[in-house]
Structure 1
Amino acid sequence: MISSSMLYPEPAVEVVRKGRVSRIAMEHQWRSPVDEDADARQRGDILVSRWTRNDTQSLEVVSPVSTTHHCIAMNLKCTSLTFSHAGKTLVRGRVTAGAVQITAPDVRCRAVFESPGDVLHLFVSPQVLGECFEDTFDRPHPGEIRIDDPRLVRDPALERLGQALAVSQSNDAALGKVFTDSVSLAIVSRVIARHFTVTERQTREASALPSWRLSRAIEYIDAHLAESIGLADIATSTGLTRMHFASQFRRATGMRPHEYLLRRRIDHAQRLLLESKHNVLDVALSCGFRSQAHFTTVFKRLVGETPYCWRMKANVDRQADSRISGSERKISPAGQG
């Protein structure tokens, strides 16, 4: 069975016997495989080819459009280029070795190479994608697989497999084919495992905390700012476990519960510093901080100044605003006359 972490040829032999991979050939046209076997495409094989150029002059290339095969492009050396996918520019600049990009069928790509390049291309049929999915997840995929995410992927396992495939040399044609077949299938299996694992993880991701639960959490936090509040306390107020509450709260607010609690405490502290005569220590204790030093550290990190300096400047600004407002009231009657 093929697994997503397969790094050796032996586990792939059973699938190799199905005759799904052709030999590596050099491309005469970018992303256009050379079929050594005239029936290779018709059988739905993986077509493996390599495109290289050593010229330093700028070169524009456009890919043929395949109606059936995905193209897995594996960059073997650093290069500078502009790469467009379905009319949208994805890359403009340097691309490192090991970067992988996947193009679905019926999508045209265009590139302008500004430096030498070396790219390995695997053209993968729907049949192979389906076989690799079933071998990886022990169940068939419902319908035909289409991978529509064209972003560059950096995966050390894919990089090692691509480099191994690129440098493979053997005087034994049969052995060379087994190795090429095995590594190629390992690459496809890894791509399938990555794509569908990420998709399932995103599907399982917690939804945002509903507004009524969020209101309960905020009410609880505001009512207990001076106390030692734990994550379990806030979660209980919403009727959720700590794990579910934390993930949903972060999606709803963009902050972890601890970060949000600190900000609410600092907001409350700012109101007390302006509206009360309490000293800094009393304000700190009233907002749930156990020491003035900790309060000062957090306040300065979030506000940019120490509580004392912030209070002094805020009072000066408020007095200045009050004087300006008083002057305007005095001037106003004369202006109206």
Structure 2
Amino acid sequence: MISSSTSYPEPAADVVRKTLVSRIGTENQWRCPVDEDAGARQRGNILVSRWTRNDTQALEVVNPGSAAHHCIAMNLKCTSLTFSHAGRTLVRGRVTAGALQITAPGVACRATFESPGDVLHLFVSQQVLGECFEDTFGRPHAGDIRIDDPRLVRDPALERLGQALAVSQSDDAALGKVFTDSVSLAIVSRVIARHFTVSERQTREASALPAWRLSRAVEFVEAHLAEPIGLADIANSTGLTRMHFASQFRRATGMRPHEYLLRRRIDHAQKLLRETKYNVLDVALSCGFRSQAHFTTVFKRIVGDTPYCWRTKANVDR
């Protein structure tokens, strides 16, 4: 999952004029819009419907998946269920309000509701996905869009949009429809922005530092433990910029370069404290620390004891 604090481009206002959205209907069958939406389905519009049940008895429902529409399902209240996507169980237990899940066309789903449930479904055509992508990123998407990530999404902004859509009431049919159009398209646009922003970021971060570059970085650190080296120095030894080196190093080792450098210096300090008679200040300076106070602070954070106390205990144990 993505952090809700991430900002995404707001959907352009003119997308509302391009695509129409039908009224919210009540589903008689799970994930199946009512028959009166057939015309809207043929025109390639967004279909919005709602699945609600108040029965406390367990109910199993199955849907083979829409042939041409993505289904965006948003849970409107807490419920307990078992949910399977393409034969794989994704949820077994309690699901909070606001949880959102996306199913690509042609993917079968099955659910067993074990408590009352209330779910909003948006059935989104390829035309709408393409328009929202172009309005969000300023360029058309190459080929069809297929969002095939069944994991639950939790996004406060999407939750607020879904709740607003679910409780909207208006005596003016035209005004109500404009509101439904706008909110539904805002939901789709944010889903598109989240999906492709996260995908691109994961692609950029996917590669770890190759073994030969990692070896160069380790050798450089070992050779300069006593010197005031920085991130740029280590990155230069591998032939990468600071930004690329830092992200790939963390991917490969699980820690930031600075943290790795500190730990190697502390390892070296422990060796000097155990095998030599250098005082604590000399050990600190020999390991690249500019002051005894800084050395002591870092040493205690990593080892759990001050250098003096650690040396005393090490000598007793030896």
Q: Same fold (TM over 0.5)?
A: yes
In structure 2, relative to structure 1, the CA distance for the partners of 1:61 and 1:4 (3 Å cut) is: farther
1:8-62 Cα offsets, whole Å, 9 max, x none, are: xx5443213xx4x221111112212113143232222211100112233333322
Please tell me whether residue 164 in structure 1 is matched to residue 164 in structure 2.
yes
- Name which of 6, 13, 28 aligns with 2:11: 6
Instruction: Work out whether residues 74 and 99 of structure 1, in 8 Å CA contact, stay in contact via their aligned partners in 2.
Output: yes
Instruction: Work out whether residues 217 and 237 of structure 2, in 8 Å CA contact, stay in contact via their aligned partners in 1.
Output: yes
Bigger Cα displacement from structure 2, 68-77 vs 133-142:
133-142
Distance 2:184 2:206 in 1: 35
Larger Rg: 1
Q: Following superposition of structure 1 onto structure 2, how do residues 13-162 of structure 1 map, counting pairs within 5 Å?
A: 13-16=16-19, 19=20, 21-162=21-162
1:160-204 Cα offsets, whole Å, 9 max, x none, are: 221121111111222222221222122112111211122122223
Distance 1:242 1:37 in 2: 55
How far apart are residue 312 of structure 1 and its match? Answer: 4.1
Bigger Cα displacement from structure 2, 69-78 vs 296-305:
296-305
Distance 1:307 1:87 in 2: 57
Secondary structure (helix, strand or coil) at the match of 2:102 reads: strand
Instruction: Work out whether residues 35 and 47 of structure 1, in 8 Å CA contact, stay in contact via their aligned partners in 2.
Output: no
In structure 2, relative to structure 1, the CA distance for the partners of 1:279 and 1:4 (3 Å cut) is: closer
Instruction: Quote the sequence identity (%).
Output: 85
Instruction: Name stretches of at least 5 consecutive residues in structure 1 with no aligned partner.
Output: 319-337
How far apart are residue 258 of structure 1 and its match? Answer: 0.6
Secondary structure (helix, strand or coil) at the match of 1:73 reads: strand
Instruction: Work out whether residues 170 and 176 of structure 1, in 8 Å CA contact, stay in contact via their aligned partners in 2.
Output: yes
CA RMSD of aligned residues (A): 2.3
Instruction: Work out whether residues 73 and 101 of structure 1, in 8 Å CA contact, stay in contact via their aligned partners in 2.
Output: yes
Bigger Cα displacement from structure 2, 279-288 vs 25-34:
279-288
How far apart are residue 313 of structure 1 and its match? Answer: 4.1
Secondary structure (helix, strand or coil) at the match of 1:153 reads: coil
Secondary structure (helix, strand or coil) at the match of 1:49 reads: strand
- What residue is the counterpart of 2:256 in the other structure? 256
Distance 1:301 1:35 in 2: 66
1:230-282 Cα offsets, whole Å, 9 max, x none, are: 22222233333222222222222221111000111011112212222223332
